[in-house]
Each structure stands twice: as C-alpha cells, then as structure tokens.
Structure 1
Amino acid sequence: MVRVLHSADWQLGRAFGRFEPDVRAALIEARFDAIDAIGQAARTHDASHVLVAGDVFDTEGPEDRTIVQALSRMERYPCRWWLLPGNHDYARNGGLWDRVRARRTTNVMILTEPAPQEMEDGIWLLPAPLTHRHNLDDPTADFDTMATPGARLRIGLAHGSIRDFGSRGEANNQIPPDRAERSDLNYLALGDWHGVLEIGSRTWYAGTPETDRFQRDLPGHVLLVDFMGGEGPEVTPIRTGRFQWLIREWRVNDAASFDAELERLMGEVDPAATLLQLSLVGITSMTDRVAILGRIEHDLRHRLRHLDLRADDLVARPSDDDLASLSGEGMLGAAAAKLYAKVRAGEGDAALAKRALERLFVEHTRGAAA
C-alpha cells in the first residue's frame, strides 16, 4: 500500500490586517503550526510524501522569516514535502522559489518545472506549476504527454479551478473535471478551493489546513490518500486546523431567546478557538436589546477569539413598560413620547428618531442603575 498526504493553500505570510494585534498574531502562528500538524499526521499514518498543491505562500515576496519558519518546520519530519507554485506564489526566474531553494533542506522538493518526478520506484508525480497569477490555458494539459516509464501510480498535482467558484475562487487557471480520466491519473491532487471538496473519486481539493476566512464552518484538513493495489484511492480527511470561522444569524425576540442561542453555541465550540461573524435579527423591547448587547460586549466578546457583530437588524421597540419608565421624568418623558410618535409615523427622520429614542432610554436606564 502506498500512502501520501495531500494539502494545499497554506498561505504562509498572510497578514490578517483587519484584526486586532493579538488575534492577528495567533492566526499567523496557527498557519505555521499547521505544518507541524501535517508532519505529525504523516508520521502517525506512515505517509512518506506530502503533496502541497500550490499557494504555499500568500505572496511571491514573503519575508525571510516566513520562508525559514516554513522550511524549519518541514525539516522536523522524515517525510518528503513536494511544493508546487500556485497563483499566489507563482514561479518566475529570480523570484520567491530561488530564495526557497537557497535555504531548502534535503526533504523539500520544489516543483517549478512541468516535468514528471519519480517519487519512489514506479510512483510518478506530474506537477503543473503556475508561472503567472492568471493563466488562460489549462495548466494540466501537459499531463497527457508526460512520460512515466514503468509507472505503478500516476499522481497529478495542480492549482486551479475545476469550475467557476465565483467570488470564492479563481475564474482563471481552469482545469477540466475529467482530467484524471483523460490523463490516466490514479489521483489528481488540487489546490485553490479552501475547503475539502470531492470532484470525483480520483480528483479532490484538500482545502487549506488552517481556515482563514468566514466562509465555512469546518476547520482546516489534510487528506490522507491510500492506494491499495489496483483499486482506486481511499481518501480520508484529517483535521489539522485549530480555529473555526463561523457565520451565524440569530433571530431573537427577547433576551431569553438570545440566551438559548448563546448556550447552544457555547456547547458546540471551543470559544478560544472560534472566530464568529454574528448577525442579530428581530424585534425586542428596548430593555431586552440593551441587555442582549450588554451581554455580548461584556461576556461573549471576551470569550471568543474574535467577534464580528452585526446588530443593525435587531430593532428596539419600546414596550409600554419602557415608555412608562420615562413618563414620570418630566421633560425626558415628553421628549421620549415625541420621538416614539415619529418612529411610529415613519417620517423621513424616523431612523434618526429611533436611534435618539434608544439612546435616551439607554442613558435613562444607566442613570437609574447608578
């Protein structure tokens, strides 16, 4: 049995500039730690080769530290690492990959030429390195004519789109979905799509080993690919990612429904390893809206690694009790009644009146608590 690991889209050196410094540092370090997770998986599952299908680095000009960190992590493990240039780190003379070669170790193989490599006796790797960020031609077209004498296995390694992923993937570097069949490949290891995706029994995207965007719930994985005799490959995802990036929309109508959603979430995740994009939708009393947002700011935000809150669609409607609490406040009550009338009438400045009424109620509530 021959066993390899298939990975892609490490995006080492990604800056994560939108995040606070402590979150940014954790996300950057997690991408390097994913190399160790892959190396440990190779050791655990007795895989001699790790195939990285492009975008090892996030740019074609990473810092020296990024290159050294990557190579030193790979050097720790006895497997061989096969690195393919993708659209973010494409191959060009005098560029990134010459810098990597100057520092590489004996177990790191750089595939900047579309030439077949015999990884072991009769096991051939057919690489399709990208030489530009956007290639109009099929980068795997040369697989048809690559000679692999005495081949027991032919494994393709490429970076590009099997189909148009729209805004979530590259529309260039198009690869036909039947490339494995056309070129008599036992397996086609692909990169570019950042989640695990089976195109066919012999064609897979490994996804990124450490998730890097709010797009899917699953953490990062590497694929364990077993070739057993003349049978097709058996592909098994193995988790490597530390962080989960979740998108949630909660429809809440009172503080109790928010508490129920929060309790459910906390029971499903590791908060310190969770980045959450949370949208709140619903109509609540002002009292409940203030309570919900207060719990988010003073509790949930501190539990999670990162929180991106969108609460504009959580509408505060003052209840009779809310208005009654202001009615005895003289001028304050009169102002609240006038603002609420504008909100209900839907006049041109109703949105401004709603914000002013909410602020009035919040400040009144704070004053009463003091």
Structure 2
Amino acid sequence: MKLIHTADWQLGKPYGRFTPDLRAALTDARFEAIDTIGRAATEHGARHVLVAGDIFDTEGPEDRTIVQAVTRMERHPCRWWLLPGNHDFARNGGLWDRVRAKTGTATGTDSKITILATAEPHELEDGVWLLPAPLTHRHNLDDPTEAFDTTETPGARLRIGLAHGSIRNFSSHGETNNQIPPDRARRANLDYLALGDWHGVLRIDARTWYAGTPETDRFQNNDSGHALLVDVTPGAEPDITSFRTGRFHWLIRDWTVSDAAAFSADCAALLAEINAPDTLLQLTLAGITDLSDRVAILTQIESDLVHRLRFLDLRADDLVGRPTENDLASLDVEGTLGIAAHKLNALSQSDRPEARIARRALERLLVEYNREDQA
C-alpha cells in the first residue's frame, strides 16, 4: 500500500524577523505545500496522507489558518490523518474542536480529514491498521508510543505507527520531551513508523523515518522541504522516496574572500545555480582584502545581490579590509583627519579588543573622505 508521510506543517508560523511582504509569501507557501502533497498523492496512487504532528504552529491559530488548511485538504481525493503534536496538542475545547467544526464531520457528512486526538487504532483499509500517538501536553517526559507494543490490531497485515517526538536528543541540554526509543518499530511489530518533530528528512532505520517539514522555515542544513512517498508491503522493508514540496530555498554559504574579483565570480556561480527570487541566503564572509576591495564587495552586495535574492542575512564582520599605502596616502593630510587616520590604523593592527571597531572606522573614514574629495 502506498501512503504519504509528512509532518511539521507549522501553519500560522509568524516569521517575525522578516518584512510583511516576505512573511505573507512564506505563510502562503506553507499552504501551497498542502496542495503539492495532495497532487502527489493522486499522481502516485497514495490514498492516505499521514501528518505526524504540528500541523499548526500554535494551539490558537486564526480562523483563516484553519479554514485554509481544511479547504485545501478537502479538495484532494486522498484521506488526511492529522496527529496532534507538541505545538498543537489535543485537549478538550481546544484547537481540534475548532478544526472539526470546519470539516464535514460537524454536519454529519463524511470528511476526508480524520483528527487522531485519541490513541485509538484505526483500520485504514482491510487489514491495514494505523496506531496513532497523539500528544495531550506540549511537554511530556513519557514515551508517547509505549502503548504500541500491546495495541491489538485484529487481522492485521500491516501495522503503521504515527507519532511526534524525539528519538535523538535534538536539543543541546536538558531532558528530551516526548522521547521515543529508536527500536520502537521492532518492539511493536510495526511495518512503518512515521515520525514528526525533526524538521528534515531523517532515516532512523529501514522502518522508522522523519519526513521533516514540507516548507523550510529556518537556516539549517537538514534536508527540509520534502515529504515521503512510502510503499509498504507485508513482510518486507518499506520503499521510501523523498520528493520536493517546498517553494523557498534557505541556503547557508560560508565564503573565504581574497578580493573583489573573486567575490564577483562566486556571486555569478551562485546565481547561476539558484532561483534567486525564491532563495533566502545566509552569507558569511571571511578573509583579508585590500580596504578598497572590501568596500567594493559590500557595495556589490548592497546595490545588486540583496535585490536579486528574496532575503539576505549578511555576516561580514570577519571580512577584514587592510588599508594599502595608497589608501593611507590619501588620508595623509594635516589636521584632525590625518591624526585620526594614523591612530585608527595603528589600533586596527593591534591585538586590542577595539581593533575590529578601528578597522571599520578607518574604512568609513576612507569612504567618506573619497566621497567628499570627488564632490
């Protein structure tokens, strides 16, 4: 049987660090990912889509967020199985009652959407059982999948688990919430265990996978922006195929720069391999260049590169501009300006904590002096 495994839609994510127009575009892209998944289900003959938690970013999303999610799912012929995660955990009178009110279940009609708010197993098709492990609290130190081992599934030819939690401790300190043992699929005799929480595609073992978020939401090299097509056969390892669902690419690049010409070549190579309007770039520059080259590099970034990309997060503190003899000669004038230039140059080459600030001040002094001279 074929199914699609996805997770961590985080609908309603605020993206507070960005401009309003970019926030709107990122928000819409998360809804568009639902349609991408629905079309893929139809194309590949997958009748069921399993969403392993954190469908919504909070337990109190706006009505528009809920309606957009429901209507986009319902226009595709597949069935959607939604598991509450730690961001949208299940509780009486909470988010999931609001979601039900927007689906056909509220009027007694059959809905394509099933909310898995309890740990009750569901028979998806004849002999194909889904074992859900919904979260009822945001933070819980108990294993949400422990009951899988003893859950009865009469006449099962396939047992599929659906859970949200950490098999690896993805945080850097403290206890891990909702921890799941790495061998749960073996212990519970599962043919496949679909997990959510980690935002990139991650294989734990042949039968246990994280699908990641379908639309990347941060700068992190974790293979996000995908969903998984899963072909499950009794008695065999499942066949897993990752497919692209995300619109935006969040890239991290660290460049060591020698001069302005080399930087221009790096930019040209990058722009040739990406779709710049759909790319968010975190760019870190390091190296030692002539001061005039550093100014040229930053000018190219500010006047060209930043306007080509959807967003640029520039980190250039470690790109050091050393003044040449010509640079210093242009500042070798009498009076306060000359005195300041010599003091800043001496300080910039020292080991004192203020050296970095002195380099930036000397750079600014040169830029402003040349500007006035040209005027």
TM-score by length of 2: 0.94
Displacement after TM superposition at 1:253 (Å): 1.8
Displacement after TM superposition at 1:343 (Å): 2.6
Residue 114 of structure 1: which of 119, 124, 130 is its match? 119
What corresponds to 1:67 in structure 2? Answer: 66
Describe how 1:184-263 pairs up with structure 2 within 5 A: 184-216=189-221, 218-263=223-268
What corresponds to 1:326 in structure 2? Answer: 331
**Greater mean alpha carbon deviation, residues 320-329 or residues 101-110:** 320-329
**What is the SS of the residue equivalent to 1:216?**
coil
Describe how 1:128-167 pairs up with structure 2 within 5 A: 128-167=133-172
Give the partner amino acid of 1:33: E
Deviations 1:200-236 (A, max 9, x none): 0000000000010111264501100012353221000
**What is the SS of the residue equivalent to 1:133?**
coil
Displacement after TM superposition at 1:353 (Å): 3.1
Q: In 2, are the aligned partners of 1:161 and 1:170 still within 8 Å (CA)?
A: no
Q: In 1, are the aligned partners of 2:191 and 2:234 still within 8 Å (CA)?
A: no
- Taking the aligned partners of 1:307 and 1:167, their CA distance within structure 2 comes to 27
- Taking the aligned partners of 2:311 and 2:173, their CA distance within structure 1 comes to 22
What corresponds to 1:99 in structure 2? Answer: 98
- Taking the aligned partners of 2:231 and 2:144, their CA distance within structure 1 comes to 25
- Taking the aligned partners of 2:214 and 2:350, their CA distance within structure 1 comes to 53
Q: In 1, are the aligned partners of 2:135 and 2:164 still within 8 Å (CA)?
A: yes
**Greater mean alpha carbon deviation, residues 234-243 or residues 340-349:** 340-349
**What is the SS of the residue equivalent to 1:50?**
strand
What corresponds to 1:303 in structure 2? Answer: 308
Change (3 A) 1:34 1:349: closer
Displacement after TM superposition at 1:349 (Å): 4.7
- Taking the aligned partners of 1:144 and 1:216, their CA distance within structure 2 comes to 34
What corresponds to 2:39 in structure 1? Answer: 40
Deviations 1:29-85 (A, max 9, x none): 100000001001101111100000000000001011100000000011000000000
What corresponds to 2:49 in structure 1? Answer: 50
Give the partner amino acid of 1:363: E
**What is the SS of the residue equivalent to 1:327?**
coil
Give the partner amino acid of 2:158: L
Q: Percent identity?
A: 67
Q: In 2, are the aligned partners of 1:161 and 1:169 still within 8 Å (CA)?
A: no
Give the partner amino acid of 2:60: G
- Taking the aligned partners of 1:223 and 1:251, their CA distance within structure 2 comes to 36
Give the partner amino acid of 2:120: A
Q: In 1, are the aligned partners of 2:158 and 2:234 still within 8 Å (CA)?
A: no
Q: In 2, are the aligned partners of 1:278 and 1:308 still within 8 Å (CA)?
A: yes
Displacement after TM superposition at 1:368 (Å): 4.1
Change (3 A) 1:218 1:243: farther
Deviations 1:64-119 (A, max 9, x none): 11000000000110000000000000000100001111111310000000010001
- Taking the aligned partners of 1:358 and 1:204, their CA distance within structure 2 comes to 51
Q: In 1, are the aligned partners of 2:4 and 2:48 still within 8 Å (CA)?
A: yes
Change (3 A) 1:115 1:290: same
Change (3 A) 1:144 1:218: closer
**Greater mean alpha carbon deviation, residues 57-66 or residues 217-226:** 217-226
Give the partner amino acid of 1:336: A
What corresponds to 2:88 in structure 1? Answer: 89
TM-score by length of 1: 0.95
Displacement after TM superposition at 1:270 (Å): 1.1
The Cα RMSD (Å) is 1.8
- Taking the aligned partners of 1:168 and 1:68, their CA distance within structure 2 comes to 38
Q: In 2, are the aligned partners of 1:276 and 1:307 still within 8 Å (CA)?
A: yes
Deviations 1:120-173 (A, max 9, x none): 111110000000011111100111121111111100000000111125999210
Change (3 A) 1:369 1:79: farther
Deviations 1:265-301 (A, max 9, x none): 1122111111111111111111111110011111111
Change (3 A) 1:42 1:173: same
- Taking the aligned partners of 1:130 and 1:27, their CA distance within structure 2 comes to 27
Change (3 A) 1:30 1:347: closer
**Greater mean alpha carbon deviation, residues 83-92 or residues 261-270:** 261-270
Give the partner amino acid of 2:78: C
What corresponds to 2:107 in structure 1? Answer: none
Give the partner amino acid of 2:181: P
Q: In 2, are the aligned partners of 1:83 and 1:109 still within 8 Å (CA)?
A: yes
Describe how 1:261-340 pairs up with structure 2 within 5 A: 261-327=266-332, 332-340=337-345
**Greater mean alpha carbon deviation, residues 351-360 or residues 54-63:** 351-360
Displacement after TM superposition at 1:12 (Å): 0.2
